Amino acid sequence: MPMTKVYLGTIIDTPKLGELRVIEHAAVFVNKKGVITRIMDISDKSFSEGRTAVMRETLSSEEAGIEIVDQDWMEDDEGNVVRKFWFPGFVDTHTHPSQHPNAGIFGKSTLLDWLNTYTFPLESSLSSPAKSRAVYTSFLTTSLRSGTTTASYYATSSTISTNTLATLCHARGQRAFIGRTNMDTDLQPPYYRDASASSALAATAATIAHIKSLDPTYDLIKPIITPRFAPSCSEELLAGLGSLAEKEDLPIQTHISENLDEVALVQRLFPGKGAGTYAGVYDHYGLLGPKTVLAHAVHLSPRSANSCAKEARRSPTVPGLCPVRALLDDGIEVGLGTDVSGGFSGSMLSAAREAGIVSRVLAGVEARGASIEGEAVGEGKAKQREKSDRVKLSPEECLYLATRGGATCLGLGDKVGAFEVGMEWDAQLIGLNEMRWEEQQAATTMSGVEPSNETDEERMKRLAKEIREEVEGGGGDGDGGREVVDGSEGLVELWGKETWSERIAKWVFCGDDRNTRRVYVRGDMVHSLDG
C-alpha cells in the first residue's frame, strides 16, 4: 500500500455559498489516513511528456511510495470525449433507508394515511434480518452510485435492523450517522411501537454499543439520537433521549414543522412546554443544541427560527417549498436531504435540482408579493424583480447545500464537503460527455466539399440524400438507422462553448448516477462504474 496517493485532474468545489472554485489542472495529495496534505495548481507545468511523468519527477525527491491516480479529463481511445472533474461527495442530511422499497409511491392520501398504509408496515417488517439486509444493501448501492459519501440515517425501532444498517455502512465504507428510531406513543400502531420509554432507551443503548464495537473512535460511523418526532414520544422518552445524548456526547436528529397539521398537533400535545414553539419543545427536553439536525423546517415560526438560529444553528431541509433563502438570512445552517420515501429519489443530485426548482417557484410567489408591496410604496419594477430573484438558488448554491452546507449541519464542515488541506478525501469523479461535432462532422461526407454552383434546391436534395444514406447505413452497424445506445451513457451533453458554471448547471439539471464515475470516502474507493 502506498503511503500517499496523488489525484490529478480538474477539481471543483463550493467552499462557501455561491462560490464555485475551479482548478483545471490540480494535483491533490492524500495520505494513508485519507487526509488531504497538499493541493497543487499545476497549470503551469509542462505536459509535453505527460503529466504523470512530470508529477513523478517533481515528487520523487520528496515522497516515497506514491501512487498516482491520473484521470485523463479529455479523451478516450474510441474517440468519445468525456470531460471529467473531481467534486466533493454529497452529504445527505436526512433520509430513511428503511423506506427505500416504497420510493415513488405516494397515493393521494394524507401524511397519516400514508404512514399507516405504506410506511409503518414496511419499517416494521425490517425486524427480519434478511429483509433489512436486502433493503439496506439496495439503498446503499443507490446512495453510493449517486455520489453520497456521508448520510444521516433513520433506521427503524428494531435493534437488529438498526445494527444491520450500521454493519453495512461500515463494511461498504460510507460515512454515516445511524439512528435507531424512538417512538412509544399511540400515534404509532401497536405492532410498531416501543413498549415503554425505558425499553426504547435500552434498545438505543444496545445500538450504540454495537456501533462502538464496529468503530470505537466513530471515525466512519457514529450513533445519532433519534426521537421520530415530538408527537411520537412520551415526555419520559424525550427527556431520556436528551440525557443519553448529553451523557454519550452524541448528535441528535428529528423532524420539525413538515406541515401545518403537525405544528398544531405539537401545540396541543405539549401545552406550556417550550414557550409555545415547536423548536422550544425539543429545547425543553434537552434535544435542541449545536449538535441537533432538524429535518424539514418548512413552516418554522419566526420564534422557532430564532431558537434554532441561536441555539441549534442547524436546519437541513428536504425537497418541498422550504424558504431556504429566508432561513439562510436568519443565520440558520441549511443542508439538503433525500428524505426517502417522502422524497422519491435517493440521489442528492436530484435533491439539489429540486431545491433549485422549488426556489424558482417561491421566487414566482415572491414576485407577486413584491409587486403588490412595491406598487404601494412606489418602488420600481427593477427593484421588485431584484427582491424576488434573490430567492432563487443557483446550481452552485444548491451544490453548496448538498456538500459543505450539509456537512456543516452535521458538524463535519471542517472535515468533508470541500477540498482543503486537512480535510478528508470524500470525493466523486464526475464525467460529462462532450459532443465534438466540428471534428466529427469534418470526417463525414456532409460537411465535405460543398459544390459552389448548386442551387438551394439541389443543395437541400444532396444533404437529404446524404442524411438518409448515413442513417440507413446505420453508421456501420447495419441495423437500419438506429443509433446504438446501451443505456450506460448519461444524458448530459457538452457542446464545447460552456463555462464551468454552465457545465455544472447541466450536470445538476440533466445528470444522474451515470455521471458519477467513481466515489471515494477517506481516500478509499467505495464505488466505480469502471467495474
**Within positions 83 to 112, which residues make up the interface with its own copies, using CB under 8 A?**
100-101, 103-106, 108, 110
Is the CB of 232 or the CB of 338 nearer to its own copies? 338
Q: How far apart are CA 288 and CA 245, in angstroms?
A: 11
Per-residue contact string for residues 110-149; x = within reach of its own copies by CB under 8 A: x------------------xxx-xxx-xx-xxx-xx----
Kindly identify the residues of this chain, within the stretch 440-479, that bind its own copies according to CB under 8 A.
440-441, 446-447, 456, 459-460, 463-464, 467-468, 471-472
Q: Which one among 505, 520, 521, 523 touches its own copies, defined by CB under 8 A? A: 505
Q: What is the edge-to-edge ordering of all strands in the sheet holding 148-154?
A: 90-95, 148-154, 175-179, 221-223
Q: Which of residues 197-236 bind its own copies (CB under 8 A)?
A: 206, 210, 214
**Per CB under 8 A, does 339 bind its own copies?**
no
CB of 53 to its own copies, least distance (A): 28
Q: Are 161 and 98 in contact (CB under 8 A)?
A: yes
| Out of 172, 303, 313, 415, the residue judged to bind its own copies by CB under 8 A | 172
Q: Pick the piece of the chain touching its own copies (CB under 8 A) from 6-14, 52-60, 238-246, 505-513.
A: 505-513
> Are 184 and 197 contacting, i.e. CB atoms less than 8 angstroms apart?
yes
Q: Is 286 exposed, middle or buried (0-12, 13-18, 19+ CB in 10 A)?
A: middle
At 461, list the grid cell: 436534395
- Is 531 a binding residue for its own copies by CB under 8 A? The answer is yes
388 binds its own copies (CB under 8 A): no
Q: Is 66 in the site for its own copies (CB under 8 A)?
A: no
User: What's the CA gap between 348 and 354, in Å, rounded?
Assistant: 10
Q: Number of C-alpha atoms within 13 angstroms, CB side, residue 377?
A: 8
CB of residue 390 to its own copies, shortest distance in Å: 9
Q: Does 492 bind its own copies (CB under 8 A)?
A: yes
In terms of CB distance, is 302 or 364 closer to its own copies?
Answer: 364
Closest to its own copies by CB, 53 vs 112, is: 112
Nearer to its own copies, 93 or 174 (CB): 174
- Which of 8, 12, 126, 160 binds its own copies (CB under 8 A)? It is 160
The yes or no reply on residue 34 touching its own copies (CB under 8 A) is no
Strands (DSSP E) along 155-238, which ranges? 175-179, 181-182, 221-223, 226-227
Q: How far is CA 403 from its chain centroid?
A: 7
Helix (H, G, I), strand (E, B) or coil at 487: coil
Q: Least distance in Å: CB of 77 to its own copies?
A: 18
d(CA 524, CA 328): 33
Closer residue to its own copies in complex, CB, 25/385: 385
Q: Does 526 bind its own copies (CB under 8 A)?
A: yes
Locus of grid cell 412595491 = 374
* Min separation Cβ 105 and its own copies, Å: 5
Residue 13 sits at φ, ψ, to 5 deg, of -150, 180
In the bound complex, what is the minimum distance in angstroms from residue 31's beta carbon to its own copies?
A: 20
Binding to its own copies by residue 491, rule CB under 8 A? yes
Of the residues 190, 378, 451, 487, which one makes contact with its own copies according to CB under 8 A: 487
Query: How far apart, in Å, are the Cα atoms of 422 and each of 23, 250, 419?
Result: 18, 23, 9
Q: Does 502 bind its own copies (CB under 8 A)?
A: yes
Q: Which residues, numbered 258-317, are part of the site for its own copies (CB under 8 A)?
A: none
Q: Which of 215, 234, 344, 379 binds its own copies (CB under 8 A)?
A: 344
From CA 314, how far away is CA 306, in angstroms rounded?
11
Cell matching residue 215: 468503530
Binder of its own copies out of 70, 218, 394, 415 (CB under 8 A)? 394
Q: Which residues contact 339 (CB under 8 A, 6 or more apart)?
A: 94, 95, 96, 295, 318, 319
Q: How far is the CB of 366 from its own copies (least distance, A)?
A: 14
493 vs 81: CA distance, rounded Å:
10
Shortest distance, CB of residue 111 to its own copies, whole angstroms? Answer: 12
Amino acid at residue number 420: E
Q: Distance between the two ends of the chain, CA-based, in angstroms?
A: 21
Minimum distance between the CB of residue 95 and its own copies, rounded to whole angstroms? 15
Question: Residue 87 CB: number of other CB atoms within 10 A?
Answer: 22
The three three-digit cell numbers of residue 315, written as one number: 436546519
Nearest CA among 74, 92, 94 for reference residue 84: 74
Least distance to its own copies, CB of residue 512, Å: 7
Other Cβ atoms less than 10 A from the Cβ of 369: the count is 12
